[in-house]
Structures are given as structure tokens and as C-alpha cells.
A and B are shown apart, each in its own frame.
Chain A
Amino acid sequence: MKLYELAHVLRSKNSGPFAVTLDILFDNQAAYERVKRSGAVTPAKIAALYGIPVESITDYALYDPGLGIKITYLRDIASGTARDRDVYGAQQHAPLMDIEIP
């Protein structure tokens, strides 16, 4: 199954002007646990998918009460300055959608 079929929310957004944060949220415990246990969403896998060094990932956290996974990574280009492509960082989530969850 693909991640977008299991997740309730899949989004990206700035966390301050120098970082983008990816949120994967679920509306049921079973889907959250399935993805959490799958090992398909890890800092190493996200770094490979986005073509960024794993050191650029500054936070990776699971929050059980919120049924969610968060990955935060540093931007190459800060929000809204020359050469930025996404001022709000709101469209950087798409590559997550097709992650295959066993």
C-alpha cells in the first residue's frame, strides 16, 4: 500500500525560514502503527528520496497521542529569498506519497 492511502494528512510547511517540516498524520491507530513499524519512513529513507544528506534532517519524531510522524530538514535556500522555489514550503511533500508501506 502507498503511504498516501494510509495517511490522513501528508503535508510540508516551513518551520521558520530556514527549515521545511514534513508531517505524516493518521486518523486511526492501526494505520499509524503499521507505518511506524514498517521501517519505510526513516531519516535515511527520506534523505535518499529527497536527495539530501541525512545530516540535513534536524528532527525526526513520532508522537503517539497525535498519531503522527514528523521530519524536519534544513533548506538549501531560505524562504523567500533569491533562488527559493517555495516560499511557504507548502509543496515539498509530494515525493512522500508513493512510499510503499509493506
Chain B
Amino acid sequence: MITTIISPCGILGYGFPLASLEAAMTQSPDAIVVDAGSTDAGPHKLGAGTAIVSRRAAKKDLSALMHSARSAGIPLLVGSSGGSGARKHTQWTLDIVREIAREMDWQPKLAVIWADIPDEAILQALEAGRIEKMSPNVPDLTPESLAQTNGVVAQMGVEPILQALDEKPDIILCGRAYDPAPFAAIGIARGHDPALCYHMGKILECGTLCAEPGTAKDVMLGRLDDTGFEVWAADPRRRCTPVSVAAHTFYEKDHPYLLKGPGILLDLSGCAFTQAAEGRVRVTGSRVSHPAYAIKLEGARRVAYRTFVLAGIRDPLLISRLEEVEAGVERSVREYYSDIPPESYEIRFVHYGLDGVMGEQEPDRSLPHEIGLMFEIIADTQEKADAICATTRSAYLHYGYPGRKSTAGNLAFPFAPSDISFGAVYAFSVYHLMYVDSPTAFFPVEWMEV
């Protein structure tokens, strides 16, 4: 048995060269699978229900993929629809797919697999001691924090996708999914070794990132057979080497050869990577074991509001005494707003050029000739953040420090107005494993009309 899968790009809406897709379509593919998800952009997308990519870009990519899938008569699978894969994100993707299908005058057999986990189920599991943190620095999950969380999703494994594949669909839109799962499901449904299917899925889900030169914006191919799999980029200028493919499992993972997923532990320590042909790598020896089945829960909640200012500082006298000046600025603002509870807001100064990127972990403490200053007010309401930010800005601009020569102003603002009212700040309030009896019960498959 041979199974060939096309992965057009690392995130749906990142785009890919149409010539690459056309070249890939000549390789007798059995499915097109594209991952749409990531938590990399932070908790805001999940918390606020917004997408990672623009609607225009998502539609552009989906349109090309739907046309290709339809003409080849192969299924199209989308993982973690809309980025975060909650109902709102998945519905957003479904609306785009319906719009394109109508434009194509096509009635595809269309499944949606939802990945929203009801609060009651989480509370029951919490009570039963079946929930654990992903790491010790994750906040405690309590009924209160859950109530403040704007919906919880979980990463589905292959099982709900296999259920949908049984019905021979044209399109499956998955809610939040373990990134390799939609890829792996295609191979597993056709009888391939699951270890190879997951490993190949892990490589394919990032587009051609494992090739050199690598990018998440180009088309990758993977082909499973009875003893291993091969991967290569549709554009022959992007070449896979044994090292580039072996090293790919480092990417965004905590461990390079032990990879955890829903109900699986993938062990790549015994893998062999060989150059099968120019730019093409063959992989064998992937192994999988099946620990107790747990799904990863993700949820975000609003924690604050923010207003911030960007400004430059060029005066060396000021640069040499930033700490003292900023302590004075903060003191004057807090005195002025003595009517506001002091713990309800925070004034925070970040110094690009000094330690803006690394903060306390910055080993190099030398003073630069210029500072990029960002200061922000984090408060419990937007109105408060705006008001305190304006007062902080004027206090900083005119603050008179000992030895000051530049008595006209301390800050160079690049913009007018200078204060940016940012809106809500979110945090991941749920990032936990939940042990479940059924890999499918929380991921209902729903068949949709166009």
C-alpha cells in the first residue's frame, strides 16, 4: 500500500506557490491536509475568538485547495480550523468553505468535527482528579478560573477524524486538533503503521520547513509505504537531507525524539534517515506506544486592559539614570491618583537597547547611546489604563532629574497621538491534560450542507 499526502503550507492562509501545488498534484496524491492552528501567537486569538490569518488569505488558500481536491477526487482536511479551533474559529472557516463551494457550484460531502469541551465535563474530571497541569508554571484550574475562561477547546487525536473518514467525505474541517493528527488519520485509515503516520504528519504539518531552504509557505509531500515513508518538497529547489528531516522534530517541541500526543508517545530514537533521491529523504524505525489517553485542554481568559506608549531616548544623561527617573515618574503618578486603588494597576517600563527582549535574563548590561522606550499601564479597566498612561507620559516627558540639561522634554515620540489604547490582555488560564475514557466522545462529527 502506498499513500501520498500533500501539505500545502504550515498554516492555512500563509499561502503557497500555485506552481508547487500543481507539481504536487501530478504525484498521485491521496489527500490534501493542511494545518491551520497554533498557540504561538499567544492567548488572545483563543480568548477573543479571532483568527491568525486574514479572511482574504484563508479564502485564497482554501479556494486553490478545494479546486485541486475536487478535480483529483481526493479529500481535503483542515486541522485546527481558524487557528484556535474553537466553535467560533471553526464556524468562520466553515462559512468561507461554503462561500467557495457555492462559487464553484459544488455540493461537497462536508464534515465538521467540533473540539469544544463543556465546562461541566471539565468540572467533573477536576472533581475526579483526572486533570493535571501541563507544567508546574501553569495556573491552577479551579471552578472560578474556569468560569472566567472564554470557552475551552481540546486537541483531538486521530480517532474522531477516522470516524469521519469512514464516510468518504470530500472535506473535513477539524476544530482544535493535535497538529499531526489529520495527516496521520489519512495513513491509519488506509492501514499504514501508525508510528510512521504520526511521524510523517509531524514533518508535513509545517509545510517545507524541514527542507533547505525551509519555509512554512510552500508545498510538501509525504508518501507512506509498508516499511517507511519518504518526504520531499514540491519545489525541487527546496531539498530535504537526512539531517534536515531528522532535526525537524526539534522545532517547537520540548524534546527532539520523544513526542507526546493524544493517546500516544512517539519515540524517534531508533529512526534511520537516508537520502532516497535528490532532495528526498526516506525514514524508517519510528515507534509509538499508547499511554493512558489524555487530551490537552486550552482556554484563555481576559486578565487586564493595556495602554502603551513608544518613545525614543537619546540623551546620555537620562540614559545613565533611567531607573531613578522612572521611580520618580511612577511616584508622582501614584501620588496624583491617590484615589485609585494602587493594586488595581501597574506601570511598566521596557527598554529596548538595554534589556527589552530578555529582561532579567539579559547577561549584557552595557549602556547604549539610544533607548527604545515602551511603557504600558496594565489596569482592570481600559478607562483607567488610558488615564494613567496619559499622566505617566506627561510626567516622563517633563520630569526634572538632577543634572538635567534638556529642559524642554525627555522623550522623542514617533507618533501623534502617542498613547495607544490596546484593549484586553488575555492569558492561558487552562493548559491542562484531561484523562478521558473515549477518544471520540468530546469531538462530535457533524455533516453539513453547503
A contacts, CB < 8 Å to B: 9, 13-19, 21, 23, 25, 27, 49-52, 58-59, 61, 63, 65-68, 70, 72, 74-76, 78-88, 91-92, 94-95
Contact = CB atoms under 8 A, between A and B. Distances in A.
B350 interface: yes
Nearest to A75: B137
A90 to B, nearest CB: 9
B254 A17 contact: no
A82 B41 contact: no
Contact of A50 (B40, B250, B356, B361): B361
Interface string B338-365: 0000000010101000001111110100
Interface of B: 39-44, 134-138, 242-243, 246-258, 268-269, 271-273, 303-304, 306, 346, 348, 350, 356-361, 363, 378, 425-428, 431
B14 to A, nearest CB: 15
Contacts of A15: 252-254
Contact of A51 (B41, B361, B426): B361
B422 to A, nearest CB: 11
A79 B250 contact: no
B40 A66 contact: no
Question: Considering residues B44, B137, B357, which has the most beta carbons from chain A within 10 angstroms of its beta carbon?
Answer: B137
Contacts of B43: 17, 78-81
Question: Considering residues B243, B346, B348, which has the most beta carbons from chain A within 10 angstroms of its beta carbon?
Answer: B243
Given A65-B271, A82-B303, A17 B246 contact: no
Nearest to B139: A78
Given A70-B255, A79-B42, A79-B43, A16 B431 contact: yes
B254 to A, nearest CB: 4
B303 A87 contact: no
B205 to A, nearest CB: 15
Contact of B256 (A66, A82, A94): A66
A66 B249 contact: yes
A83 to B, nearest CB: 7
A58 B256 CA distance: 13
Given A18-B428, A58-B254, A72-B254, 16 more contacts: A14-B40, A16-B134, A16-B431, A18-B134, A21-B254, A63-B250, A67-B243, A68-B247, A68-B250, A79-B40, A80-B43, A80-B428, A82-B303, A85-B356, A88-B40, A91-B357
Nearest to A52: B361
Given A59-B254, A61-B256, A63-B257, A84 B135 contact: no
Nearest to B45: A80
A96 B7 CA distance: 33
Given A74-B135, A92-B361, A82 B304 contact: yes
A67 B216 CA distance: 22
B247 A84 contact: no
Contacts of A66: 243, 246-250, 256-257
